A and B are shown apart, each in its own frame.
Chain A
Amino acid sequence: MPEPISPLAVRAYTATSALGRGLGDHLRAVESARSGLRPNDFGDAPLACWIGRVPGVEDSPLPAHLASWECRNNRLAWLGLNQDAFVDRVREAIHRYGADRVALVLGTSTASIGATEEAYRRLEDGRFPADLARPGVHMPHSLTAFVAEALDLHGPALTVSTACSSSAKVFACAERMIRLGVADAAVVGGVDTLCGSVLFGFNSLELVSPEPCRPFDRTRRGLSLGEAAGFALLERVEAAPAVPRLLGYGESSDAHHMSTPHPEGLGADMALRDALQRAGLDADQVDYINLHGTASLKNDEVEATLIGRVFPARTRASSTKGYTGHTLGAAGIVEAAFALLAIEHGLVPGNLGGDQPDPVCGPQFAWHNERRDVHIALSNSFGFGGNNACLAFGEAAA
């Protein structure tokens, strides 16, 4: 079993999704139970489904000095970085520690593959058109390379691409780097944007719902895809004692199937217990769990059973995918932001869309918003390939 870790300060964090730009928009959406999902209008021949699209990405080109990185995913990354004074917090960290002592670890599942798809739609004599012949945007590291340049970071830089657990696992990488002295601070996060690959890919697996997704509803019909960007800045607690904390993380593999979860939630259970162990917590100390809860039939069933098995009735649990859709590689960071908002504002988000609770869901489920103290919050993220991650956050010590 893992040893408990020293907590890290979450000096700053931000999220941009279909709910809007920055934490204020996310908090207000939850307070008024307003979903960001809308009928699919993405692409030339949209599938009949609902999506969580970030408004205005098309009208937000990158600044001229970053134009070589132009693509939807990097645009959304830039939009996301420029909320909640996040860039200022990073500049301060660079000032404190030096640009080569601030690590950058970002998660994404498809990075800027939307640009590669466009290049294939517009081939000229079998080759990429000149404006898209930019190798940097046709590789999975595009997002991280772009953000490193945009923020002028020169420390360790890594992209984690483990499907839907990507931007949860980045917290674990950053903690290890800071603990072992390779960095003094770390920018973590993730970005994924809507593109043909994921819309038609999940459609081919028959996992896309024709209506807005309804996590944990007994008549749920699958997931709604979304896009989002989110970031957090991690430092040692001594440097920022009065902010929320990363208390622990857990990672595991299902070793079961490429695209369906282990039927008993074995890997999810291991990641959860690993996170609690590193955080030095017992399950009954957990106030809120932001669930993976994609609204796919099997995943929700397995996760709900796990929650019922491990946690007492007083622990609250909900999925926020009814708000944002499933933002894939960005889901981990966006849902970490929801968990942190729950801690900072004493607000447990209701499980939007779950109007007829699946009988497998226990008393832990919060079907409507609840005002209560949240000292400890977890966030679950599970991805294709049976890749699981669980994060544990806590309030600043009193």
Chain B
Amino acid sequence: MSGLRIHVEGIGLWSPQLADFPALHTWLAGTPAAVPGAKPPAATLPATERRRAPESVLLAVEVAGQAVAMSGRDAGGLACVFGSAFGDQTITDYMCETLARAPTELSPTRFHNSVHNAPAGYWTIATGCHAPSSAVCAYRDTLGAGLLESAMQVLADSQPVLFVCADVAGTGPLGDVTHSTQAFGCALVLSPDVSPRTVATLALQVSRDAATASPPPILPPAWLEANATAAAALPLLSLLAGHGRHCHIAAAGTLGLHIERENLA
């Protein structure tokens, strides 16, 4: 099979260590980057929604907003794919705890925010987006599987697609099981065509080798161990920041995604 070629027009990033993609650039160049605030700002959401939205939504909306702003695209017309390995673990912890104790006290708002597509829902409502939106997961392979699904949408319908992948830290007894120790989110605006906004061109090749290549040693262990999304995303983001030529991320049980950064024409 020939490679799937897609063009990156926007990149978003948020973690407790770095507030955006330029900060990663700075940091990779060896300069300390400013530490972000405690919560992702998620400026795309109206203020009332921002106050009410759970952390998983704030994180996804923040990185999505960054990527779309960099791309110069109108968010209202962008198809979007929201990946998350675990969904909103804080709400799952709350719901399971409440169900065990007093099930009829379950909060209706927390319940409708518990759906895996809550970030996609809030995002499309905030941006007036009627294009298709999706919410996907594949456990530790969520980033690779979500990127592949996004590339499929880009190429099948020859349209730009916003891909978001974000996971919050686990809480409660569930957190012991998910081993997600901190928030990490990233987003890409992908396009089928080269444009003045293109920042990188990627050739994706599905391979039978699921083994994840070692990430660049310059990345701090705290991020790599934060959660599965961060561990898979950081080598890709480093690649996009100009470090190295290729990376390999898992996309399914025994399936890998070989990603090559091509020279801009």
Query: Do the two chains belong together in a single complex?
Result: yes
Give A contacts to B, CB under 8 Å.
Answer: 2-3, 45, 100, 109, 113, 116-117, 119-121, 123, 126-128, 133, 135-136, 138-141, 144-145, 148-149, 154-163, 169, 173, 175-177, 179-182, 196-197, 200-206, 251-259, 266-267, 270, 383-387
In this complex, what residue of A is CB-closest to B107? A204
- Chain B residues whose C-beta falls within 8 Å of the C-beta of A385 in the assembled complex: 115, 117-118, 120-122, 124, 133, 135
Which residue on B lies nearest to A137, using beta carbons?
Answer: B177
Bound Cα distance from A158 to B178, whole angstroms? 19
* CB of B116 to closest CB in A, whole Å: 3
State whether B131 touches A157 (Cβ < 8 A): no
Q: Which residues of B contact A (CB under 8 A)?
A: 1-2, 4, 76, 85-87, 92, 95-97, 99-100, 103-104, 106-108, 111-118, 120-122, 124-125, 127-139, 141-142, 145-146, 148-149, 152-153, 155-157, 173-174, 176-179, 206, 208, 251-255
> Cβ of B155: which chain A residues have Cβ within 8 Å of it?
176, 180
Given A156-B255, A157-B145, A252-B132, verify A258-B177 contact (CB < 8 Å).
no
How many angstroms from the CA of A133 to the CA of B173 in the assembled complex? 10
In the A-B complex, the 3 residue pairs with the smallest Cβ-Cβ separation, listed nearest first, are: A385-B121, A161-B116, A251-B132
| 20 A-B contact pairs sorted by A residue (CB < 8 Å) | A120-B100, A128-B176, A133-B177, A140-B116, A148-B253, A156-B252, A157-B252, A161-B137, A176-B153, A179-B156, A182-B152, A182-B206, A204-B108, A206-B108, A253-B120, A253-B131, A254-B124, A254-B130, A255-B130, A385-B122
A contact residues around B87 at 8 Å (CB):
140, 161
Report chain B residues within 8 Å CB of A267. 130
In angstroms, how far is the closest chain A Cβ from the Cβ of B104?
7
Query: Would B100 and A155 count as touching, CB distance under 8 A?
Result: no
Q: Which residue of B lies closest to A116 (CB)?
A: B96
- With contacts A139-B86, A141-B139, A384-B117 taken as known, whether A201 is within 8 angstroms of B152 at the C-beta atoms is no
Please determine whether A255 and B128 come into contact, CB atoms closer than 8 angstroms: yes
Question: Is B116 in contact with A196, judged by CB distance below 8 angstroms?
Answer: no
Q: Given A141-B85, A385-B120, A386-B124, does the pair A255, B173 have CB atoms closer than 8 Å?
A: no
Contact residues in B for A253 (Cβ distance below 8 Å): 120-121, 124, 129-133
Taking the closest CB of chain A, its distance from the CB of B126, in whole angstroms, is 8
Contact of A158 among B136, B173, B177 (CB under 8 A): B136
A255 touches B96 (CB 8 A): no
B134 to A155, Cβ gap below 8 A?
no
Contacts of B146 in A (CB 8 A): 158
Contact B130 A252 (CB under 8 A): yes
**Cross-interface CB contact of B149 among A144, A158, A205, cutoff 8 Å:** A158
B156 touches A176 (CB 8 A): yes
Collect the chain A residues with CB atoms within 8 Å of residue B208's CB: 100, 154
Across the interface, name the chain A residue whose C-beta is closest to B141: A157
Residues from chain B with a CB closer than 8 A to the CB of A177 are: 152
**In the complex, A154→B251 CA distance in Å?**
11
Q: Would you call A138 and B178 a contact (CB within 8 A)?
A: yes
Known: A197-B95, A386-B124. A154 touches B254 (CB 8 A): yes
State in angstroms the CA–CA spacing of A116 and B94 once bound together: 12
